[in-house]
Amino acid sequence: MGTVEVARDMDVMRAALGDERLTYLGFSYGTYLGSLYADMYPTRVRAMVLDGAEDPSQDTEDFIEDQDRGFEVATESFLRDCFKAKDCPFKGHSVKAAVKKLDRLYDRADQSPLRNEYDARQVSEAVVRSAVEYSMYQTATWPRLRQALAQAYKGDGTKLLQLADESNGRRPNGRYDNSFEALMAINCVDHPESPCPFWPVKGSRSPAKVQAKGAPPIVVVGTTRDPATPYKEAQALAKQLEQGVLLTNDADGHTGYRRGSSCLDRKVDDYLLTAKAPRPSTCRPDATTHAKAQAKAST
């Protein structure tokens, strides 16, 4: 289940499809898979976009530390946006004061779980944190989080529980998908230093830089306020690659392609179609994108 093995499988798929070289678009974990493939088979790459990049040279402890900070930055950005909305429960607060108010909600849910009108489960601190972190992945979820937090401060954690369920892969019938089991199976092979001493299969890779020597230019997309894969990860990967090209997406949320920036979409599309890499540059979301997403989510 390790990524090295999956990269080999992907090369078999490339050959079976009759493609001399691979055209690849990978998001989040998909950037780790793509970068390892390029390092293993550099001459078999035609065009590759790695969006929401992971740094393959980083150990688990450093990655978790960077990700924690990434979620802090994203939450602060959410709060600044929240101040503009009528239904914001942090109206009149500074960012620092709003963060403290959010921390008090975590403490409150830890000491006495919030009530829930959805089912018999309790809305604990873990549920509240899961809902907040999940909502940082895309700005379209921010209106729902605003409403959920406003209700939570009145003691009702129903909407937070629903957000947490989405994050945890829980279906309406109470069953869960196997995303977390798959994540553990892969991570315990890829990152043997992570908390997997019980795992029966030894890891197949240790943290190391990838260079993809001999590969054509590879495009790395980094979003400046990405909570899950912080921007510095994209910067690091682009520098490691022999021909890495960094496209900066000055925006919120996890990953950038097809997230509301016509500038970024155009550069990625042109590269995938022509295999001619763009120059390193910065793009931003279109002016109306955020407003439309917020309005749609509110309704």
* Active-site residue set: 28, 226, 254
| Structure tokens given for 252 | 């919120």
Give how far Cα 86 sits from Cα of 81, 90, 92, 149, Å: 11, 10, 11, 13
Count the Cβ atoms, other than its own, within 10 Å of residue 49: 25
Between CA 80 and CA 91 the distance in angstroms is: 10
Q: Among 90, 92, 74, 94, which Cα is nearest to 82's?
A: 90
Between CA 172 and CA 111 the distance in angstroms is: 27
Q: Quick one: how far is CA 289 from the chain centroid? A: 19
Residue with tokens 């019938």: 173
Handedness of CA 114, 120, 125, 128 (dihedral sign): negative
Cα atoms in the 13 Å half-sphere on the side-chain side of 114: 30
Contacts for 189 with CB less than 8 Å, ≥ 6 apart: 1, 2, 3, 5, 199, 201, 202, 203, 204, 205
